[in-house]
Structure 1
Amino acid sequence: MRAIVYQGPGTIAVQEVSLPQLEQPADALVRVELAGICGTDLHVIAGDFAGIRPGAIIGHEFVGEVIAVGGAVTRFRVGDRVMSSDFTACGHCHWCNRGDHWECHERAFFGTGTSFGLALQGAQAEIVRVPHADTTLALRPNGCSDEAAILLGDNLATGWAAIERGALLPGEIVAVIGGGSVGQLVSLSAQAAGAGAVVVIEPSESRKAFARAHGSLAASPGEARVLIDRLTEGEGVDLVIEAVGAATTLSAAFDLVRKRGRIISVGAHASESWSFPLAKSFANELTLGFAIGDSIRLRPRLLSLITTGALDPTVIVDRRVGFAGAAQAYADLKLQKVMKAVIDPRI
């Protein structure tokens, strides 16, 4: 079968690879109908994560059709059209029972090698093996498009997790640092959760224009504090969401938040350390947290928002390609010429 394979830092290629097989009774095989390209994938192919090795199939966002199931799979049968979380979890351990599936000791993150758990081949392929299928997969309901299901598996779940972890109250003011796909979905999630105003902070003119067209205010990093001071009478925002995954943008959040405010980071960080503004955080009683999207936990809630039309994440998808166009889509995403690209292996 064909798949997109990591060859080394900065290099990917479409290659013929061996077909995956059922390895455990709880496995399923899914024929991929659509796979997403995520900002995290840019970190993967750049070699930022030590756990990825040449020859690994990349990608962690997908929807498709079940073509085989192991003997322990009870929720799905061959022919079911399914969506997936971007990582697997056993579904019955202490962490899974709490709804904290990311902390499951059997977690495996598709297409990232051993960077975040057990190694598992990725989903930018014609067929993908899905461990713990009964937990990892879900049926795609009517009213949820393939693109929406892709986004619910990672980017939208991440955006909503940021708002959930930030304990947003109706009417509060939110600043979102980063206007990529996750940042824009954080903004849409905040609006759906009742934010009084959302400010997307982003240097790209096209991404600022996108944010304004979809209900938020927007400012460049140099303009942000002036706008925030006008909105908050100089106090700072209630909640800052950092959606880039860089030490510089996380540090910038501390200059935007009010006293006793909250900062939540959902960017994929690769740096081992960061200089924390300890005295300022203590004096201002700030709260700093991190959040990773958990589609397994959040699917029911987010599916309700999508199928009722309360939230449409698909507005961020602006390119659909086959395998032949994947390398260019990756390059354009890195250059911020694309907001969100998806790959159709059937093209």
Structure 2
Amino acid sequence: MRAIVYQSPGNVTLQDVAPPQLQHPGDALVRVELAGICGTDLHVIAGDFAGIRPGAIIGHEFVGEIMAIGGAVTRFKVGNRVMSSDFTACGHCHWCDRGDHWECQERAFFGTGTSFGPALHGAQAEIVRVPHADTTLGLLPKGCSDEAAILLGDNLATGWAAIERGALLPGEIVAVIGGGSVGQLASLSAQAAGAGAVVIIEPSESRRTFARANGSLTVSPDEARTFIDSLTDGEGVDLVVEAVGAAATLTAAFDLVRKRGRIISVGAHATQNWSFPLAKSFANELTLGFAIGDSIRLRPRLLSLITTGILDPAVVVDRRTGFAGAAQAYADLKAQKVMKAVIDPRL
């Protein structure tokens, strides 16, 4: 089968590789019909995560059709069209029972090597093996497009997790640092949850234009503090969502939030250490948190928002390509020429 394979930092290639096989009774094999390229994948191919090794199939967002199941799979049958979380979880441990699937001891993150658990080949391939299929997969319902389902598996779940973790109250003002797909979907999530206003802070004019067309206020980073002061009478916003995954943008969040406000970071951080503004945080009673999207837990709620038309995450998809165009899509995403690209292995 064909797959996008990591070779070395900055280098991925399309290769013919052996197709996966069922390894455990809870496995399923899914014929991939659409796979996403995520900002986290840029970190992966850059070599930012130590666990990635040459030969790894990358990608963690996909929808497709089940082509084989293990003997312990009970929720699905061959021929079902399914969506997936970007990571696996057993579904029956202490953490899974609490809805904290990311903390599951059997977690594996598709396409990121051993960075976040046991190595598991990714989904930018014609076929992907899915462990713990009964938990990891969900049926693709009517009213949810393939693009929306891919985004629910990671980017939308992450954006919604930021708003959920930030305990947003109706009418509160939110600032989102970063206008990529996660930042845009965090903004749409905040709007759906009743935010009084959402400000996306983003250097790219094209991404600011997109955000304005989808209900956000926008500002460039160098004008952010002045703009937010004018919007909040100098107090700062109630909630800042950091959606870039960089130490500099996380530091910048502390200059935008009001006293007793909240900062939630959902960017994929690879830096090991960061200088925390401790005295300021104590004096202003600030709350700092981190969140990772849990599609397994959030899937029912987010599907309801999608199928009723309240939220359409697919608006961020602006490139659809086959395997032949994947390398260019990666380059264009890095250069911010596209916001969200998806790969159709059938093209």
TM-score by length of 1: 1.00
Shift of 1:227: 1.2
Structure 1 Cα separation of the partners of residues 272 and 154 of structure 2: 23
Structure 2 Cα separation of the partners of residues 11 and 262 of structure 1: 38
Shift of 1:241: 0.2
Residue in structure 2 matched with residue 233 of structure 1 by the alignment: 233
What are the equivalent positions in structure 2 for 1:221-300 lying under 5 Å apart? 221-300=221-300
Shift of 1:278: 0.3
Residue in structure 2 matched with residue 203 of structure 1 by the alignment: 203
Structure 1 vs Structure 2 CA RMSD: 0.3
Residue in structure 2 matched with residue 63 of structure 1 by the alignment: 63
Residue in structure 2 matched with residue 194 of structure 1 by the alignment: 194
Structure 1 Cα separation of the partners of residues 337 and 151 of structure 2: 19
Residue in structure 1 matched with residue 320 of structure 2 by the alignment: 320
Residue in structure 1 matched with residue 52 of structure 2 by the alignment: 52
Q: Deviations over 1:124-151 (max 9, x none)?
A: 0000000000000000000000000000
Q: Deviations over 1:224-270 (max 9, x none)?
A: 11111111100000000000000000000000000000000000000
Residue in structure 2 matched with residue 307 of structure 1 by the alignment: 307
Structure 2 Cα separation of the partners of residues 9 and 54 of structure 1: 9
Gaps of 5+ in 2: none
Structure 1 Cα separation of the partners of residues 88 and 334 of structure 2: 27
Residue in structure 1 matched with residue 167 of structure 2 by the alignment: 167
Shift of 1:23: 0.2
Query: Partner letter of residue 231 of structure 1?
Result: L
Q: Deviations over 1:82-124 (max 9, x none)?
A: 0000000000000000000000000000000000111100000
Structure 1 Cα separation of the partners of residues 115 and 219 of structure 2: 34
Query: Partner letter of residue 174 of structure 2?
Result: V
Q: How many residues align?
A: 347
Residue in structure 2 matched with residue 17 of structure 1 by the alignment: 17
Structure 1 Cα separation of the partners of residues 252 and 230 of structure 2: 18
Residue in structure 1 matched with residue 100 of structure 2 by the alignment: 100
Shift of 1:271: 0.4
Structure 1 Cα separation of the partners of residues 55 and 179 of structure 2: 32
Corresponding residue SS for 1:33: strand
Residue in structure 2 matched with residue 142 of structure 1 by the alignment: 142
Residue in structure 1 matched with residue 74 of structure 2 by the alignment: 74
Structure 2 Cα separation of the partners of residues 170 and 224 of structure 1: 23
Structure 2 Cα separation of the partners of residues 30 and 94 of structure 1: 28
Shift of 1:179: 0.2
Structure 2 Cα separation of the partners of residues 211 and 320 of structure 1: 20
Gaps of 5+ in 1: none
Structure 1 Cα separation of the partners of residues 200 and 154 of structure 2: 20
Corresponding residue SS for 1:262: strand
TM-score by length of 2: 1.00
Structure 1 Cα separation of the partners of residues 56 and 26 of structure 2: 22
Corresponding residue SS for 1:59: coil
Corresponding residue SS for 1:56: coil
Query: Partner letter of residue 35 of structure 2?
Result: A
Residue in structure 2 matched with residue 341 of structure 1 by the alignment: 341
Structure 1 Cα separation of the partners of residues 54 and 139 of structure 2: 33
| Over 3 Å off, 4+ runs | none
Structure 1 Cα separation of the partners of residues 232 and 213 of structure 2: 22
Structure 2 Cα separation of the partners of residues 302 and 142 of structure 1: 14
Residue in structure 2 matched with residue 36 of structure 1 by the alignment: 36
Corresponding residue SS for 2:13: strand
Q: Deviations over 1:151-206 (max 9, x none)?
A: 00000000000000000000000000000000000000000000000000000000
Structure 1 Cα separation of the partners of residues 233 and 290 of structure 2: 28
Structure 2 Cα separation of the partners of residues 293 and 72 of structure 1: 27
